[in-house]
Every structure is written in C-alpha cells, then in structure tokens.
Structure 1
C-alpha cells in the first residue's frame, strides 16, 4: 500500500506542474501586471526627483502592454473557455472583456490622478499610489476569472487591502484617514461574513471548486437552511464591492473623504469587477437544472428594488456633490442587478454595456468635481452657482455627462438603460415573473427620481446668481479640460453609435 502511494505521488506532482506550466501561457496579462508592480516600486525608490512622473509614464505604458495581451487572449479562447491552475480560474470571452475594461478605465484614472490638485500637492508624492493601483488592478483580474472559493476570497482581499490604502493615501487629510478607517472596519466585517459563508459551503460539499459537479451535488443533499445561509453570506461579501443594500453603509463617507480620483476608481472598476465575480459565482447554480434550494432571482430582485429606491431617494437630499454621486452609484448598482437577474446572454451583454457607459460618465463627472473644486474636496452644489457661464465648456460637458447618467436620449446612458429594460422585458414575456415586473416599474420610477438631484447641478451652474465671495478656486488645468471633453464626446458618440461598443460585449 505504501509503495503504491509512493508511485502515485510523483505522477500527481508531474500533472500539477504540467497544469501550472500550461496555465502560465494564459496568465500573461496578470504576470505583466505583477512585473509592472515591482518596476513601479523600484522606480519610485530609485528616482528621487520626478518619481511620480516617471512612475505615471511607466504605469501608462505597462497598462497599454497588458491591454494588448488581453486582446491576444480573445483568440486563445475561440475554441472554448480555459480552466487555469487546477480550476482556480476560468478564462473566457466575458472575463477577457471585463479585463479590457479594467485596463481602459485604469489608464484614464492614471492620467487623471496628477491633475487633481489635492493629490498633486500630497507631500509624499504619487509614486506609491500608482503601485497600489496596479496591485488592485491585478486583484480585479483575479476577480473576473475566479471560480474557486479560495481564489474568490484571495481576489477580493487583494482588491480590498489595496482599496483601503488608496482611500487613506492622503494621511494629512483628516477626512481621508477617517474614511479609510471606516472602509477598513466595514471591509473586515464583510470579509468575515463571506469567509463564514464559504466555510458552510465547504463543510457541505468538501469542494472549493464551484464548477465541480460534486459541489452542487453536495449542496442539494444538505438541508436548504444552512446552504441558503452560506450562499447569502458569500453574496453579502461580494455585495460589499457592489455596494448594494444592505452592504452600502460605507459608500457615502468613503466617497466624500477619499481623493476624487480614488472615488472614480472605486465607483467604477471595483463595482464592475464585483459584477464579473458575481456572474462567475452564479453561473453553475443557474445552469444546474436540479437547483431549487435558493431562489437567486427572488433574492436579487428584492435587493435590486431596495437598492434602486434607497440610492436614488437618498441622493435627492444631498448637498455635497461627491456624496450625491455616491448614493447615485448605489442606484446604478440596482440597475446592474436588473440586468443580472435575467440570467441570460442578452442580460449579461446589457450589463456590460451599461457598466461601461456608466463608468465613462461617472469618471467624467468626478473629473469635473476636481475641476471646479480645486483643492476643496468638500464641493457642494451651491458652490457651482454661476460657474457655468464663467466656464461654459466645462459646464456643457457636465450637463452632457449628467444626461448620460440619467439615461436621457442621445446619450450612451440612454442606450444602456434601453438594453437593460429590453433584456428584462424579454425574460418577463417568457415566464411572467412578477418580481421582474416590479423591477421594471422601480427602474422606471427611480430614473425619473434621478432627474431631481442630477439637474440641481446644471440649475446652479447656469440659472443661479454666482457667489460674490468667490468661494471656489477652479482648477485651470487644460489637460483636465481636454480629458473631460473627451469623456463627454465619448458618451455622445456611444449614444449615437451604440454598435461601436455593443459588438464588443456580445
């Protein structure tokens, strides 16, 4: 018996090594990100003068290289999805599209970071910030591909730790430190809840690989109550990144206290990665015909309705622009859940399109916060009085981006919402699920509600008398204005020609 085991051991190790070597060929973008992380750290240490500028350029070139490798991966999965590292990761078309989105948005954020005056004046410089951002992007890649409970946990923790550091990066800013502390506390609580849920699922199945047939077979043999409890805990852990109700409490304070480029990063990239991970987690349950222990459509329909209502109605009473955008971000999560509960290919394509156009518009709106705020991170709606006439180009761009966030015609946001509503209506026609109808009605009503808080900004920009005191010192960066104009033009272009993006996300 001992000899038999000894003979099998080398074969097992050989198989594992072969699997690792084969997987590395599909892991090139992530390997490049790891190398880029080290290069940026070394550059920051070696280059004393202008370290931030050199690290920014290195990060930008590195992200372009990673983007190219992601594009090459699209051809590698033409023959079908690839499981990597003993089924820890799953590489397929949708996950690659998510990674491409990460690179594009991260590139925009890296360009944006030194244009924000509060970050530019930071005493410690920005080189470390770029290194942290690269590490988080690496974690986002893992989130988009994770199909193993252990890898899901490691990916989320990688992103969480990096996000904690990003939020509290401005150590001399009391609001940033306070926001970072709150984020850490909520993050650790969510992590503990998720880990406990994973332990329940593992105890029931003895499996960590959620795509393994024994995983679902083991769950259906266990009483539905502990299984449902474990699933809910895991979903709440993922929901921390998505900021759906009731995992949204950290959002307003963190968004208000953190540097505006960091808010742009958290409100877009981590949210999109959360949806990518959630899609991976739900896939084996949705396509397993015998699964009846937990109704995912009912759960996410209820969560989506509450999130839509809570986010949009709370945003109405906000006066601080970043807090208002924080609550609106919660509302947009509800729209993403609308597309997700269709559990269809059309719904996933609509989700991807919606998240991408939301990201462009939201990043552009936050860039305008940096433009109008200068070094004042506590910019209020009242501070914008009359500034639309003084800075007409920025004011018009702000209106265009807000129109897209609302979802009005001739904007990318309108096309995104049309695709989401269409995907839900198509599924509703097939099964006449009352919760889908409730989602449709809630989505329509909250879209109207969003008009009331988004239009407070153009109202103050163009129709209110300006302050005599000159409370706002505007950031006069031409590069920032060009970037804002590009974002506004992009949402209009995708509003007129949605096929430019729709063909990619199918």
Structure 2
C-alpha cells in the first residue's frame, strides 16, 4: 500500500491516534476540561483533513476500504454532529456527579466506528466498524448511572445490539458461502448468474439487512428505539439519532449499490421485503408518534419514519439513477442531522436550566416562545424541517426523494411517503402551536441563562437551517460536483 492511498484515510487515522493520546492524557492528568478540549481538537483536525481530501477519485485502501467523495461528505456530517454532541455533553456533564474522562474516549470510539463504516468496502471492515460503534454506544447509553432507567436502557440496548450482530454475521456467512468473497464488489460473481445464487444469497442478504435495520430502527426492528432515546442522556440520544444512523445508512448504500446487489434487489420477493419494511416504517413510525408527550419518544418514532423514507433509494431499478440516489440521501441526511442537532440542543439547555435528568414533554414547551424566543425559534424551524414544510431543508430533502421515487415508478412507496408526511403534520404542528400557547403559560420556567457562546450556537443553527432551505443549491452544487 503506497503512501498516497494511506493518505486517503488520514481523517480516520487522526481519530484513532486521538484515542490513544487521550488515554495517555487521562493517565497523566485527570481533567475533564483538558480531555474535552483535546477531543474537540481531534474532531476539528479530522474535519479539516476530510475537507482537504475532496476532489480525488475513488481510491481503494487495501481490500477493506474505499474512499470517495460520497464517503468524505458523509464523514463530514458525522464529525459535525459529533462536535455538536461534544458541546452538549460538556453542558450535561457539568451537572452529573462522579463523571469520568472515559466519556470522551467512548465518544471518539463512536466516531472512529462511524468513520470506518462510511469508507468500508468489505464485510470484515463493515463488521469491525459496526461493533466498534455499537459497544461504545452501549457504554454511553448507560453512562449516567443515576438517571432513571439508565442501567435498564443500557442492558436492553446491549442485548438487542448483540442479537442484531448475530443476524448480520449469519447473513454475511451465507453470502460468503455462495460467493467465496467478502468484498462488496464480489468479484467471485463475475461469471455466476443470479439464478445460481438466488436462494442462499437472498437469505443471507435478508439476514444482513435485518442486522442493519436494527441500527436504523426500521419496523419491525424498532421496539428498542423509544426506550433507549428516553433513557439515554440528551447528547447520547442525539448521537444515536445522527452519527449512528448516518454511518449505517451510508454503508448499507455502498453494499447495495454494486452490480450484483442491484440485480438482486430486482428479485420480486426481496424487492417486496424491503418495500414493505419501508412502507411500514413510514406509516407505523408516524402513527405511534401521534400520542407521545415525551419529546424524546416523539423524536424516536419520528426517526423510524425518516429512515423509512430513505429506504426508497435502495429500490432503484438500474445503475443510471445512482448519482441521483446518492445526492438525495446525502442532502436528506444533512437536513435530518441539522434538525436533530437543533432540537437536542434546546432539550439539553432546558435540562441544564432545570434538572439534568428531566424528561422534557410537550407541556414543558407550552408558551416557550413568549419567555425564551431564541430557543423557540430554533425549535420551530427544526420541526418545520422535519415536517417537510417549504423553505426548509427538510422540504428539499423530501422533494429529492419524491423525484427519485417518481422517476423509478415506485408509486406505492411514493404514496406511503405522502401519507406518512401527512400523519406527521398531526404531531409536529401541535408542538409548534404549544410554543405560542397563551392558555397556560409556563410561569415556573427558570430564566433562560444562555452564555454568549450558547446564543451564537443557537443563532448559527437557525441561520444554517434557513440558508439550506432557501438556497439549497449551495449544497446541491457540492453534491453534483461529487
């Protein structure tokens, strides 16, 4: 392997080196501020290295990894969400007793696992990144031991995550038994017709997809999602909603967008299997969110629906729509990550003002606009983006998906997307209306004590969401250039 190929994974190497140095730093001096600043420096350095790598063609780094501009863009999303999570974690950890520096090590391990996933080109590297991500998240979910249900939540996620890993491994084994190759391109299938591999390979692919569907909270693998979102701290819940799902969806696309799997997905049974999971995720996820009062549980069910929307891109009929599919996914993930980061920022700030373990409900936001207008404005734009209202980033993201579904004649999925989006309005809009409520204003809310930095962060999130919604070509041109 030459140095040029090695230089393509410098962002991941920076994170890996940062983990080692962070462990040495902890051994030398126990300081939460020091380790937090070092973690931030590591993430920013990796982000700069990722941006610097744009413009190079797809390059294979050994047989395990392949780096292209799509994976670089995805890793930028992962790093950006991780930086926001780090900032929110610093706010949260100031109020938690007996906090140790290992939290930031676990955060870096999550980022490294996600970084491996987005550049994976082999099932071995995929499973390595999957396990690294999962084990680190298990530690973060149960990190705040004094939080209600923290231990139960961590244990539940551990057991179910291990089960998902088992399904994934069994599926990979079945596919390997048929092809003799673990790479995504599967060169061993060059002279083998699809009919010869259909039975065992399809079973293996379905098992593999089931393991990934667990991480993406797709129906019927979604039961863990609301409990874990509610039981985990707000920054960790945001990490689950953004970094984990972004990395897993990107690696799923890289696996599926190969010549063999594009052919395989045209099989009627497998096509229907994925299509039904997508449709059920859109409808069930939105329907279960209707009666939720807890904001975290509402966001959990909402995430199920959003991942269902994104599954549309897996069912394209030929390789001609690949570029459009990649652009649709990356733009939608950008809007989705930005809206999640905005809402969890407000939740974390409200927990800081009241009680760190408080479960924020819709009633807690009643009349918020009249007392804390800056936070309420950020919430409004984020919820409108989730709902896909025009002039928001979420609207452009859904427009991409609708266009792709129409071009591929996926009418059933298109209908489910429209129906699901309509159901979603029934729980997004009441939350927005509660922010303006005058019926029962929240007089008991503590004053919004926001530092200059926090105000700048909130304003930056507001203007970023507005800019992407009003000027989508800013990101569209970047994606087209890729």
Fold conserved between structures, TM > 0.5: yes
Task: Give 1:84's aligned residue.
Answer: 61
Gaps of 5+ in 1: 1-18, 429-435
The answer on 1:34 being equivalent to 2:10 is no
Do the aligned residues in 2 keep the contact of 1:204 with 1:218 (CA within 8 Å)? no
Deviation at 1:300, TM superposition (A): 2.5
1:278 aligned to 248, 252, 259, which one? 252
- Secondary structure of the structure 2 residue equivalent to 1:105: helix
Task: Give 2:49's aligned residue.
Answer: 69
Q: How does 1:409-420 map to 2 (within 5 A)?
A: 409-420=390-401
Do the aligned residues in 2 keep the contact of 1:256 with 1:323 (CA within 8 Å)? yes
State the TM-score, normalizing by the size of structure 1.
0.88
RMSD of aligned alpha carbons: 2.2
CA distances 1:449-496 after superposition (whole Å, capped 9, x unpaired): 1111112222222225336783x5566233434322321221111111
CA pair 142-127 structure 1, distance change in 2 beyond 3 A: same
Deviation at 1:446, TM superposition (A): 1.2
Q: How does 1:325-336 map to 2 (within 5 A)?
A: 325-336=299-310
The answer on 1:201 being equivalent to 2:175 is yes
Q: Quick check: which has more Rg, 1 or 2?
A: 1
CA pair 294-380 structure 1, distance change in 2 beyond 3 A: same
Do the aligned residues in 1 keep the contact of 2:282 with 2:306 (CA within 8 Å)? yes
CA pair 219-278 structure 1, distance change in 2 beyond 3 A: farther
Deviation at 1:20, TM superposition (A): 6.9
- Secondary structure of the structure 2 residue equivalent to 1:74: coil
1:144 aligned to 93, 118, 128, which one? 118
Distance 2:424 2:263 in 1: 39
The answer on 1:476 being equivalent to 2:449 is yes
Distance 1:469 1:93 in 2: 50
Task: Give 1:4's aligned residue.
Answer: none
2:376 aligned to 390, 395, 399, which one? 395
The answer on 1:107 being equivalent to 2:107 is no
Matched residues, number: 472
Deviation at 1:285, TM superposition (A): 4.0
Structure 1, 129-138 or 201-210: larger mean CA deviation: 201-210
Distance 2:331 2:187 in 1: 31
Task: Give 2:346's aligned residue.
Answer: 368
The answer on 1:324 being equivalent to 2:298 is yes
Deviation at 1:187, TM superposition (A): 0.1
Do the aligned residues in 2 keep the contact of 1:102 with 1:137 (CA within 8 Å)? yes
The answer on 1:43 being equivalent to 2:13 is no
Task: Give 2:231's aligned residue.
Answer: 257
CA pair 293-309 structure 1, distance change in 2 beyond 3 A: closer
Q: How does 1:367-386 map to 2 (within 5 A)?
A: 367-373=345-351, 374=354, 375-386=356-367
Deviation at 1:105, TM superposition (A): 1.7
Do the aligned residues in 2 keep the contact of 1:115 with 1:477 (CA within 8 Å)? no
Do the aligned residues in 2 keep the contact of 1:33 with 1:66 (CA within 8 Å)? yes
Gaps of 5+ in 2: none
Task: Give 1:164's aligned residue.
Answer: 138
